[in-house]
A = this chain, B = another copy of it.
Amino acid sequence: MEKVLGLTVTDEGVDDCMVDTNSSIRSRLCAIVGEDSVRDSANERHAYSYDATPIVTGAPDWIVFPQTTRQVSEVLRLANEERIPVIPRGSGTNLAGGTVAVAAGIVLNMTRFNRIVEIDESNLTVTVGPGVITADLHRAVEARGLFYPPDPGSMRISTIGGNVAQGAGGMRGLKYGVTKDYVLGLEYVLPTGEILRCGGKNYKDVAGYDLTRLLVGSEGTLAVITELTLKLLPLPESKRTMVVYCKRMVDAARIVERTIAAKIIPATMEFLDQSTMRVVDQFAHLGLPTDVAAMLLIEQDGVEQQVDRDIDRIAQIARKVGATDVQVANTPEDGARLMAARRSALAALSRLRPTTILEDATVPRSELATMVSEIERIAEKYQVQICTFGHAGDGNLHPTCMTDERDAEELERVDAAFAEIFEVALRLGGTITGEHGVGMAKAKFLPKRVGEDGIQLMMRLKQAFDPNGILNPGKIFVRVPDWQHVAE
């Protein structure tokens, strides 16, 4: 018999005698969003007790599906009055426990806000509901010859609202920036129910504090986002892909460095370490060489002549540094085949053992090779299995541990290994999270990153938005402050 917070799971099914049946709250919620938009069966509550993060779970009391901003406002007002936690959620692809209900309450499922409101080709903006799937957004704007560059790994499933709440990254960070650089304006609802707007379609706007950028990456702890206006670029004309195999990780890092020193900024520069390559090859049978230390996947986009020129120059740089092999794709299909190794990395690694912990330690690009070798040293030290892949162009690494959460002793060693990995990342001038967010998973490391005074300042900012601490409690900050009253 397992215990998932708030529910008892037996062989017979889910025992819901411990479910909160506060029918007054329930009927008030139904009055706001409609009866069929409030769910609280034991099965639904179990389904919403986890996201894509391993190990952490917590069942909510209700899952509510608002359809309008006004409904979001009324739900929040109710929750604020009654001191009920509210956890905003998109597709639940969060990797740091960001959408897990630590103290029950209401999961506010925003997926009904799935309209593309407007594509403004004159002003190069798109306005969308937070529930639009990011890949659908890509398709819609690309059909008009426009481009929304952020491409987080989860994009075929995740929502743009979730991306913005987390400050998602993706593969094109070095050349194109991240989600944070594309948010021009938001409509949002405070935990106390007020509906506000910040920013708009203006590329330049310094009227008052930059609430738009403060809300991006605030992990659903400051406000609920109900509409977004994003910046677009013209769609690049062409794109080419190449792969480089290196005997040593430091060669891969050197190729990255010299490419940038040559003033070439590729659209993507991804890498896989040797252990990742082996696992991926077993899974996807791509015929990857397994005796090399690293592979680099590089894409450039833009005007065709420029792209061809850049790819040729990168190939030259790679050969000069001593790459064992360089392959340039001649067709988009070949390019996709080469990228498949990188895109299937997580899926391949996830098959090995029951629990896959995908982490997010980031360092300045110049420290890439050092960090990768430190991760290897640490994995060896704690006798845990860690494969590393990630975004070579911006230093955002994904050390990924294959383990089994049922093995408490091993999990202790895994925790110790990651604690040391974060310590090293910080020592090298890096950060504890480049794109996944702090959530629950990294809350204990945040004080080391931002300092105790930084934590205090952030908690005061949190209080300015959320005086009763109802919005996504237990995320970002380890301590629940006195003023944060959560439902028992």
- Enumerate chain A interface residues (CB-CB to B < 8 A): 120-125, 145, 166-167, 169, 173-174, 177-178, 180-181, 190, 194, 196-198, 200-211, 213-214, 216-218, 222, 233-235, 237, 257, 260-261, 263, 265, 303, 305-306, 362-366, 391, 394-396, 429-438, 442, 446, 449-451, 453-455, 457-458, 460-465, 476
- Given A364-B123, A366-B120, A457-B464, CB of A435 within 8 Å of CB of B476: no
| Other-chain residue from B202, B203, B464 in contact with A464 (beta carbon distance below 8 A) | B464
- Given A198-B454, A200-B429, A431-B200, CB of A206 within 8 Å of CB of B464: no
Across-interface contacts of A211 in B (CB, < 8 A): 454, 457-458
Tell me whether A450 and B207 are in contact (CB under 8 A): yes
The CA-CA distance from A207 to B461 in the complex, in Å, is 15
Tell me whether A434 and B202 are in contact (CB under 8 A): yes
The CA-CA distance from A362 to B457 in the complex, in Å, is 32
| Other-chain residue from B194, B201, B303 in contact with A429 (beta carbon distance below 8 A) | B201
- Give the most central of A120, A206, A210, A446: most B CB within 10 Å: A206
The CA-CA distance from A173 to B190 in the complex, in Å, is 31
Tell me whether B209 and A210 are in contact (CB under 8 A): no
- Given A120-B366, A122-B365, CB of A169 within 8 Å of CB of B454: no
8 further A-B contacts with Cβ under 8 Å, apart from A122-B257, A123-B364, A206-B438, are A120-B364, A122-B366, A125-B364, A190-B453, A203-B395, A210-B218, A303-B306, A306-B306
Number of copies: 2
Q: What would 9 A/B residue contacts be, using CB atoms closer than 8 Å?
A: A120-B364, A177-B181, A178-B204, A197-B450, A202-B363, A202-B434, A203-B395, A204-B391, A234-B260
Across-interface contacts of A362 in B (CB, < 8 A): 202, 204-205
Tell me whether A436 and B206 are in contact (CB under 8 A): yes
The CA-CA distance from A120 to B173 in the complex, in Å, is 19
Nearest CB on B from A93, distance (A):
15
The CA-CA distance from A453 to B121 in the complex, in Å, is 31
Nearest CB on B from A152, distance (A):
11
Across-interface contacts of A208 in B (CB, < 8 A): 438, 446, 449-450, 454-455, 458, 476
Tell me whether A366 and B123 are in contact (CB under 8 A): yes
Tell me whether B197 and A451 are in contact (CB under 8 A): yes
The CA-CA distance from A167 to B213 in the complex, in Å, is 13
Nearest CB on B from A406, distance (A):
30
Nearest CB on B from A278, distance (A):
27
Tell me whether A438 and B203 are in contact (CB under 8 A): no
Tell me whether A180 and B213 are in contact (CB under 8 A): yes
Tell me whether B204 and A434 are in contact (CB under 8 A): yes
Across-interface contacts of A433 in B (CB, < 8 A): 205-207
- Given A442-B207, A453-B194, A457-B211, CB of A364 within 8 Å of CB of B218: no
The CA-CA distance from A457 to B186 in the complex, in Å, is 15
Across-interface contacts of A432 in B (CB, < 8 A): 207
The CA-CA distance from A306 to B303 in the complex, in Å, is 8
Across-interface contacts of A145 in B (CB, < 8 A): 263
Nearest CB on B from A172, distance (A):
11
